[in-house]
Homo-oligomer: A and B are copies of this chain.
Amino acid sequence: MSELSTERRPRADAERNRARVIEAARTLFGERGDEVQMPEIARAAGVGVGTVYRHFPDRQALVEAAAEHRFAEIERYARTRCLGGDSGLARYLRYVGRMLSRDRGLSSAIETSRGSTGSEPRGEARARLETVVAQVIARDIEAGTLRPDCTVGDVYLIVGCLSSVVRTGSGDWRRFLDLALDGLRPRQIPR
């Protein structure tokens, strides 16, 4: 009857192993993106493959877990540096572009988390991020630098494309952002 929570205190070595796996995954995915293999991560973490799978149901889950801290960083940046001026969204998107260029694993996480039904929370850092992005959008619209019909969905659309451009190296992502941002500006003097 003292079983109020389903949570179990994990064994100390289990917790340490989990941390090591995440650490190794961050480094390797960050450097080489999606091509890194599971046995290599296990080796770098100093554990067996089975241990990796004990902590993460599949490869995809590990990719997401390894990228989670980036979403937290991005959320923090958006909250502290994109709510002050009148073109916060531009600042935000350029920051995301730089992040994607530096951390190739972030790109994989964003790309693959989209094929899903679309409505799964996928980590609380992302949920928080969505809230802040909505605030950035509202602020820019009020400042008159953003078209009034712009939604969070539009920003996701653009982030996804940005990720695709960076990942494939098919062009200059800064140029893409310039075009996209122009597309998001309000029509000046419509008549």
Chain B contacts of A170 at CB under 8 A? 114-115, 118, 156-157, 160
Is A10 interfacial (CB-CB < 8 Å)?
no
Chain B contacts of A114 at CB under 8 A? 168-170
Is A180 interfacial (CB-CB < 8 Å)?
yes
Is A181 interfacial (CB-CB < 8 Å)?
yes
Chain multiplicity (copies) = 2
Chain B contacts of A187 at CB under 8 A? 182, 188
B171 touches A160 (CB 8 A): yes
Closest B residue by C-beta to A167: B115
Partner of A183, one of B171, B172, B181, B188: B181
Is A179 interfacial (CB-CB < 8 Å)?
yes
Among A118, A176, A183, max chain B CB count under 10 A is at A183
Is A165 interfacial (CB-CB < 8 Å)?
yes
What's the nearest-Cβ distance from chain B to residue A185, in Å?
8
* A115 and B172 alpha carbons, distance in the complex (Å): 13
* A178 and B176 alpha carbons, distance in the complex (Å): 15
Closest B residue by C-beta to A150: B179
Among A111, A154, A179, A181, max chain B CB count under 10 A is at A179
* A136 and B180 alpha carbons, distance in the complex (Å): 21
Chain B contacts of A184 at CB under 8 A? 179, 182-183
Chain B contacts of A153 at CB under 8 A? 171, 175
Chain B contacts of A183 at CB under 8 A? 178-184
Closest B residue by C-beta to A183: B183
